[in-house]
Chain A
Amino acid sequence: MNFIYPEYELVRNAERCTKCGICVKQCPNGVHTLTADTASGAKNLAADDSKCVNCQRCVVYCPARALKIVKSGNTYRENTYWIQKTVNEIYLQAEHGGVLLSSMGNPEPYPVYFDKILVNASQVTNPPIDPLREPMETKVFLGGKPKAVERDASGQIVNNTKPQIELSMPMMFSAMSYGSISLTAHECLARAAAELGVMYNAGEGGLHESLYKYGRNTIVQVASGRFGVHPDYLNCGAAIEIKMGQGAKPGIGGHLPGSKIGADISRTRMIPEGSDAISPAPHHDIYSIEDLRQLVFSLKEATDYQKPVIVKIAAVHNVAAIASGIARSGADIIAIDGFRGGTGAAPTRIRDHVGIPIELALASVDQRLREEGIRDDVSLVVGGGIRSSADVVKAIALGADCVYIGTAALLALGCHLCRSCHTGRCAWGIATQDPELVKRLNPNTGYKRLVNLMHAWQHEIQEMMGGMGINAIESLRGNRLMLRGIGLNTKELEILGIKHAGE
């Protein structure tokens, strides 16, 4: 017996509905059924709300705009401690006896520091700069900087720059594996990155051979499962990322069910068809920082020291000390993933209760690396809940070199954040391997929407930079005087390294 009344209710406007049946075809979960009366031939549309995940596919595709999805409103006896969500989760676990699973980022009402930070602008004493009339530079290089300037016999500076990533703007698409998302979604990200002059991250599932041609705009990932890792893969990308952790599920690995491992994914991941792809919680060759150093240099050896190595970690309590260790382990770039970061599947309790906000992690890591005098040895990339260009500007002013964008990129492709990726039934053709559903994502429109989004954000970043009188993005990096807190306590301001508004 199912104790749980559906959370959402499908409302069909009978006057508008033409009973065309598109909703039936679009719903991957069988919510809508179209029946015809045997006697009269009259059509009838019904909906089973219990199957609805509120992905909005039918709503968007209904040509008559006859559909909407609303909260069902069924309410348990009110209790501020045992809230309805808590009670429902207990019913679910009592019924199934399993770990609760969720997708996408932590939705709980923890403080959002980005929303408690305000940005400065120039008035009188120095002029704002108009990005429509003056150059407004957003080019970024990622990678450690040389410690000393070297000269040849004639006194000319020798180029001793370490391997770098060059980006036209301080934004990259974060790691999403082939398997967790469809090949078409991967193609959209790859083509958009190539057109924009940025990077996308292939994630931990290897790289499909059809995407090798975008290698110059690809970060290839090496995760604890080592799926799809081989010399050609490592040498194909512009940089290599070692994934130590993920913001949505710090401390645990990953699991792609065998049902999603078809022929293509099997070949790409180099595992048998139909077998579960399990990424262990730790890398079993990394139980300490000195082991990480060995993996960093193994990968550099394998790629002839031509590629920067990124080490990606989840934002956890001791993140500053961990980052300091990573900076001393040969890594060129540190990526930090905050607790709002997305996932294709994670245990709900982990996603909602483990890790810390990226704003605090970033601020403390940047400050710690500066106190130790090693900030120029590495670049910092942060991700995990970057929602807009304003978040990007604030992240850079707090000290990031660049941000990773994941959830926002999926939204651009059509995702409606129904948070049901783990079911593999994505109605938008993104987080699914079902060929019929995958077809729904058009690579030409998809990649263009990503390009549009990034261009829009770049313009907004330029506008905000101009307002601050800054015409090169490097002059915003770590420029915390451009930020003020609003409604933050002294400790929070101290950790963020910013003053309160009005100070």
Chain B
Amino acid sequence: MLREGQIRIPSGCAIAGIIDRSGRRFSGEAITRSIAAMRDRSNGLGGGFAAYGIYPHYRDYYALHIFYDHHGAKANCEQFLKQHFEIVDQDRIPTKAVKAVNDPPLIWRYFVDPIPARLARSGLDPREYVVRTVLTVNRQIDGAYVFSSGKNMGIFKGVGYPEDIARFYRLEEYEGYCFTAHGRYPTNTPGWWGGAHPFGLLEYSVVHNGEISSYDTNRRTIEMYGYWCTLQTDTEVITYIIDHLHRGKGLMFEEIAAVVAPPFWQAIEQMSPEKRAFYKYLRNTFASLLVNGPFSIIVGFAGGLLALNDRLKLRSMVVGEKGDVTYFASEEAAIRVIAPDLDRIWAPKGGEPVIVMQGGGTVQ
């Protein structure tokens, strides 16, 4: 049986997200209960979480979470990491035995910073240096897989139902201002931890429900810009698109949404000349990065969340607000279970981004 990355595996899913715009930190308990309410949308073959604001003591260091298939991979990878990074701390990520979670790999965590001399020699900016190093590990070091690489955030994922994965990683012991969650329903059984979601690069993380029809167009385009789609998943390619457009091209998240899920031409023709020029420019310039087919995604980044549906809204997503907190989920029930009394709840239209920034409001 081929594993993730050797074959493309479509999956259906559940996603959820919570962010406190005031920056107040809260435990991983709420997101676990929210995603658990959508157990029917997962099949036990993948679950995971992204948590932001959880490493305040090491906020200035890139937190690398790494799966190792065996000790040899760990030795090779650590040797490689030491050549590229100063490692200020490292530990085995704390877990506890959960009956439903079997055969975990070795799971380690490193807080690192690029070695200044090496960074200077590379001529890269530090973030690009980190990205290239992470992608090199994932492509070249057999048995090692970096699945989280941002500052003051971390991804926790594995094979199992998301609520079991949460218990396995002791998610309730972490406090952050923002969490996203994913429960996976793959149509195949790879049983590989690296294939679970969220997918992350730097502080960008993506949870995604859908099966995009533009996959190979998107993949072959993004691979021109220095990315390697080693997992062959939608989430991976969407993450790279967002990194490329945000960090590489300097687009803002509203603009990224207009590339990934733009209005139809017939709608664009009806707009004011300025807006028409804006959308025409983005659609034409980044035509191959339009993401087609059904998807709902929640993109985490430093200080905020972006939620977006495909242009036809072929996947469900609802957004709720209560005070400073904004909730996202595939189903309303998953929000009500943790916040029964909401100020507002709505289903964003296809292609209409919802952007929530810490210290800001909800932009729709």
Q: Are A125 and B217 in contact (CB under 8 A)?
A: no
- Asked whether B10 is an interface residue with its Cβ less than 8 Å from the other chain, the reply is yes
Mark interface residues in A105-128 (1 if CB within 8 Å of B CB, else 0). Answer: 000000000000000001001110
Contact A373 B224 (CB under 8 A): yes
Considering residues A161, A164, A375, A478, which has the most beta carbons from chain B within 10 angstroms of its beta carbon? A478
Cβ–Cβ contact A475 & B217, under 8 A: yes
Contact partner of B10 among A125, A151, A373, A471, CB < 8 A?
A125
Q: Give the residue of A135, A141, A470, A476 whose beta carbon is less than 8 angstroms from that of B284.
A: A141
- Asked if A139 is at the interface of the complex by the 8 Å CB criterion, the answer is yes
B346 within 8 A of A: no
Complex Cα distance, B314 from A481, in Å, reads 21
User: Chain B: which residue is nearest A139 at the CB level?
Assistant: B265
**Residues of A contacting B288 with CB < 8 Å?**
376, 474, 477-478
Q: How far is the CA of A376 from the CA of B314 in the complex (A)?
A: 29
Which residue from B212, B214, B251, B284 sits with its C-beta under 8 Å from A149?
B251
Which residues on the A side are within 8 Å of B292 (C-beta)?
469-472, 475
**A146→B291 CA distance, assembly (Å):** 20
Beyond A475-B214, A481-B216, whether A157 also contacts B255 by CB under 8 A is: yes
Name B211's contact: one of A125, A157, A479 (CB within 8 Å): A125
**Can you list, as one digit per residue, whether each of A129-150 has a CB less than 8 Å from chain B (1) or not (0)?**
1000011010101000110110
Per-position binary interface string of chain B over residues 288-317, scored 1 when its CB falls under 8 Å from any chain A CB and 0 otherwise: 101111100000000000000001101000
Which chain A residues numbered 467 to 500 have a C-beta less than 8 Å away from chain B? 468-472, 474-482
B312 touching A471, Cβ below 8 Å: yes
A124 to B251, CA, bound (A): 35
Residues from chain B with Cβ under 8 Å of A376 in the complex: 221, 224, 288
Q: How far is the CB of B227 from chain A (nearest CB, A)?
A: 12
Q: Please measure, in the bound complex, the distance between the C-alpha atom of A352 and the C-alpha atom of B10, giving whole angstroms.
A: 45
A159 touches B281 (CB 8 A): yes
Query: Contacts A125-B10, A376-B288 known; A474 to B217 CB distance under 8 Å?
Result: yes
Cross-chain contact B213 with A122 (CB below 8 angstroms): yes
Distance A145 CA – B291 CA, assembled complex (angstroms): 18
Partner of B220 from A134, A137, A480 at Cβ < 8 Å: A480
Interface members, chain A 282-300 (any B CB < 8 Å): none
The answer to whether B277 touches A159, judged by C-beta atoms less than 8 angstroms apart, is yes
B249 lies within 8 A of chain A by Cβ: yes
User: CA A364 – CA B285 in complex, angstroms?
Assistant: 23
Contact A479 B293 (CB under 8 A): no
A370 touches B (CB below 8 Å): yes
Q: Check A137/B264 contact, CB under 8 A, given A471-B311, A481-B8.
A: yes
Residue in B213, B285, B290, B294 with the greatest tally of chain A CB atoms within 10 Å? B213
Contact between B285 and A146 (Cβ–Cβ < 8 Å)? yes
Partner of B314, one of A126, A149, A476, A477: A126
Q: Any chain A CB within 8 A of the CB of B122?
A: no
Q: Nearest-CB distance from A502 to chain B (Å)?
A: 13
Q: Does B250 contact A (CB under 8 A)?
A: yes
Interchain CA distance A157-B249 in the complex, whole Å: 12
What bracket does the count of chain B residues touching chain A fall in?
35 or more
Q: Per-position contact with A for B7-21: 1 when CB-CB < 8 Å, else 0?
A: 010111000000000
B317-329 vs A: 1/0 string, CB under 8 Å?
0000000000000
Choose from A122, A164, A479 the contact partner of B214 (Cβ within 8 Å): A479
How would residues 146 to 169 of chain A score, 1 for a CB under 8 Å from any chain B CB and 0 otherwise? 101101000001010100100000
Please state if A126 and B217 are interface contacts (CB–CB under 8 Å): no
CB distance from A378 to the nearest CB of B (A): 13
Contact B10 A135, beta carbon cutoff 8 Å: no
Residues of A within 8 A of B147 (CB): none
The answer on a CB contact under 8 Å between A370 and B223 is yes
Nearest residue (CB) in A for B286 is A145
Q: Is the CB of B264 within 8 A of A135?
A: yes
**How far does the alpha carbon of A141 sit from the alpha carbon of B314 in the complex, in Å?**
27
Q: Would B277 and A164 count as touching, CB distance under 8 A?
A: no
The smallest C-beta distance from A150 to any residue of chain B, in angstroms, reads 10
Closest CB of chain B to A479's CB: distance in Å? 4
Partner of B215 from the list A161, A375, A477, A479 (CB cut-off 8 Å) is A479
Q: How far is the CA of A127 from the CA of B211 in the complex (A)?
A: 9
> Smallest distance from the beta carbon of B265 to chain A beta carbons, Å?
5
Verify A469–B277 contact, CB threshold 8 A. no
Assembly CA distance A137 to B283 (angstroms): 12
Task: Give the distance in Å from the alpha carbon of A12 to the alpha carbon of B249 in the complex.
Answer: 71
CA distance A137 to B213 in the complex (A): 15
In angstroms, how far is the closest chain B Cβ from the Cβ of A129?
Answer: 7
Check B272 for interface membership: any CB of A closer than 8 A: no
> Which of A135, A370, A469, A477 has most chain B Cβ within 10 Å?
A469
A267 CB to closest chain B CB, in angstroms?
39
Centre residue among B214, B215, B294 by max chain A CB count within 10 A: B214
Closest to B10 in A: A125
B287 interface neighbour in A122, A141, A370, Cβ under 8 Å: A141
B216 x A474 contact (CB < 8 A): no
User: B266, A135: Cβ atoms under 8 Å?
Assistant: yes
Is there an interface contact between B215 and A157, defined as CB atoms closer than 8 Å? no
- B217 contact from A122, A127, A135, A476, Cβ within 8 A: A476
Which residues of chain B are within 8 angstroms of A148 by Cβ–Cβ distance?
249
Chain B residues, CB < 8 A from A141: 284, 287
Give the docked Cα–Cα distance between A478 and B294 (Å): 19
Name the distance in Å between A503's Cβ and chain B's nearest Cβ. Answer: 9
In B242-267, the 8 Å CB interface with A consists of 249-251, 255, 264-266
- The residues in B between 1 and 32 inclusive whose CB is less than 8 angstroms from any CB of A are 8, 10-12
Cα(A373)–Cα(B211), bound, Å: 27
With beta carbons under 8 angstroms apart, the residue of B11, B220, B278, B294 that contacts A469 is: B294
Verify A480–B213 contact, CB threshold 8 A: no
B328 to chain A, nearest CB (A): 21
Chain B residues lying within 8 Å of A474, measured Cβ to Cβ, are 217, 283, 287-288, 290
B210 to chain A, nearest CB (A): 7
B284-A125 in contact (CB<8A): no
Q: Which of B251, B255, B285, B294 contacts A145 (CB 8 A)?
A: B285
A135-B266, A475-B290 known, 5 other contacts, Cβ within 8 Å: A145-B286, A376-B221, A469-B294, A471-B312, A481-B8
Closest 3 pairs between A and B when the two form their complex, measured CB to CB: A475-B214, A475-B292, A481-B216
Q: Name 6 A/B residue pairs within 8 A (Cβ), A-sorted.
A: A126-B210, A134-B312, A161-B285, A470-B293, A475-B292, A477-B217
